[in-house]
Chains A and B, each alone.
Chain A
């Protein structure tokens, strides 16, 4: 909402800037009434005007994009301040023994995220992608995070596994990585929960 408001202000600014330019163009009109010798020079002038206007529009577009990016960061900082922020990421390594279907995250026994992975998304994870499945706020103190993974395990059997971790939330953002990897020795998938400070 806030972002939209700022963009509207930026666009209004653009309109004003363009109208100001339009307002300045009548000054060039009297040259049209100038002698024929000057006519050739006035005919070449408009393309330059257009060029400068186009450049101005392009730079304005760039400004709007920059502003949008800054606002996105600001919005995230305001909604999820570093002191209370918790983010949970999902990553996969190999994945020969597990085809990911969904991940459910429970924080202190309350479901906070439930994400269904499409085939394309699961493939992206296998290629090294990391997915932020949850971002939220958490008070300082001790908490419990439960991650439930569903998918297909070895021999295409339906597979459901949970992994729990005790979190001690202090001051500063907390990052948790849920890593799915293969345990070749047991021919089974392995679910590792890792904390990043």
Chain B
């Protein structure tokens, strides 16, 4: 965590209005996913790690959001930052999440998105521009995500 924070010099809010940095990562299942292939959809990028308590609370809620809005054009890319992939897979299995989890063990994507706190949630609009960034999670944040998400889906 400390090395992740050290890599971050600017506030993630500075990314709002900027094109989202493109990336390709491998999922737990071995499939590769690239952000730019989701152009045209609204994308939620959620960074998490097994040592992060609030992530445990937030992830099932994101799963509900994804189930509800998937057909309206929502894509959820969940990015795990653990170095121990087996542990992260076990964690995701316990939470019974249905969305794909991507592995960023080198934390290159997290650095590109200036992730400082965990979890971090980024909303990208249909044209690939970052429109909302949330640092950390507290109860009720999911309402903010939904409001912003609905706004982006309606654009």
- Chain A residues within CB distance 8 Å of chain B: 101-102, 115-121
Contact = CB atoms under 8 A, between A and B. Distances in A.
Nearest to A158: B30
B26 A116 contact: yes
Given A116-B24, A116-B32, A118-B31, 4 more contacts: A118-B24, A118-B34, A118-B37, A119-B31
20 contacts: A101-B32, A102-B32, A115-B24, A116-B24, A116-B25, A116-B26, A116-B32, A116-B34, A117-B24, A117-B32, A118-B24, A118-B31, A118-B32, A118-B33, A118-B34, A118-B37, A119-B31, A119-B32, A120-B37, A121-B34
Interface-centre pick from B25, B26, B31, B34 (highest chain A CB count, 10 A) = B34
Nearest to A115: B24
B48 to A, nearest CB: 21
Interface string B17-34: 000000011100001111
B19 to A, nearest CB: 13
Contacts of A121: 34
Q: Is the interface of B mostly helix, strand, loop or mixed?
A: strand
A116 B33 CA distance: 9
A10 to B, nearest CB: 20
Contacts of B33: 118
Contacts of A101: 32
A115 B26 CA distance: 11
Contacts of A118: 24, 31-34, 37
A115 B32 CA distance: 11
A115 B37 CA distance: 15
A163 to B, nearest CB: 21
A119 B25 CA distance: 12
A121 B34 CA distance: 10
A120 B31 CA distance: 11
Contacts of B26: 116
Nearest to B23: A116
B149 to A, nearest CB: 24
A88 B54 CA distance: 44
Interface string B27-52: 00001111001000000000000000
A115 B22 CA distance: 12
Contacts of B34: 116, 118, 121
Contacts of B25: 116
B107 to A, nearest CB: 15
B24 to A, nearest CB: 4
A116 B102 CA distance: 13
Contacts of B37: 118, 120
A103 to B, nearest CB: 12
Interface-centre pick from B25, B26, B32 (highest chain A CB count, 10 A) = B32
